[in-house]
Amino acid sequence: MIFLRYESFRSYLRLYPVTAAVIALNIIYFIIVAWSGDTNNVNHSYKFGAFVANSADDPYGIVQPWRYVSSIFMHAGFEHLLYNMFALLIFAPPLERLLKSARYALFYLLCGIAGNGMSTLVNVIDGGPYSHIGVGASGAIYGVYGAYLYISLFRKTQLDESSRKTVYTILIFGVIYSLLVPRIDLWAHVGGALAGFLLYNLFDRKMARKQQHRT
């Protein structure tokens, strides 16, 4: 089972520097936002960088595009933060080792951006008036799950059976949970997972070509 963590704190920082940095940034920024107000307040979240889109004048949230990134490091409440950071702590390290840190950092950001993009795209396609505001690392985290889904389906030798079952269980539970809980953005999860699946496919092909050149 690759998702069991045995490393010491020092080893974790050394082996998974990007994951450790992302967790630290999320926690630090949450403290900053919470110190100055209510992390569940829409206006307060907007002030600190939540992702925003509305059908009236900015349907794709591109007037302030930096919010596609800043919102990935924000959370609505301590439970939201705790749940996402636990997921990162446990599930992200093996993927960082597979992709290497620099590539994994790019992967993580792109999946988070894709989650926000999918969420607003669905609102646009729906056609009705809307105002959307979102925060959270879930899109990026589901990108990690999407990568593991690709590995489970097409690179089975990289994951043991228990790990593959864990991936399937998380994704099934995640869909059910996203449908049942009103404030959860299902499409951000879908967008992140889809991006993770496709990006890992792209990186996997690139890594395979490099390996062939070496041999």
101 is catalytic: no
CA distances from residue 160 to 120, 129, 139, 170, 181 in whole angstroms, order as listed: 36, 47, 25, 16, 31
Catalytic residue among 45, 119, 138, 163: 138
Q: Under 8 Å CB-to-CB from 22, ≥6 apart: which residues?
A: 73, 88, 92, 108, 137
For residue 98, CA distances in Å to 177, 181, 194, 196 come to 28, 33, 19, 14
What's the CA gap between 169 and 76, in Å, rounded?
25
Q: With contact defined as beta carbons under 8 Å apart, do 85 and 23 qualify?
A: yes
Length of the chain: 215
Catalytic residue among 75, 80, 132, 189: 189
132 annotated active-site: no
Catalytic residues: 138, 189
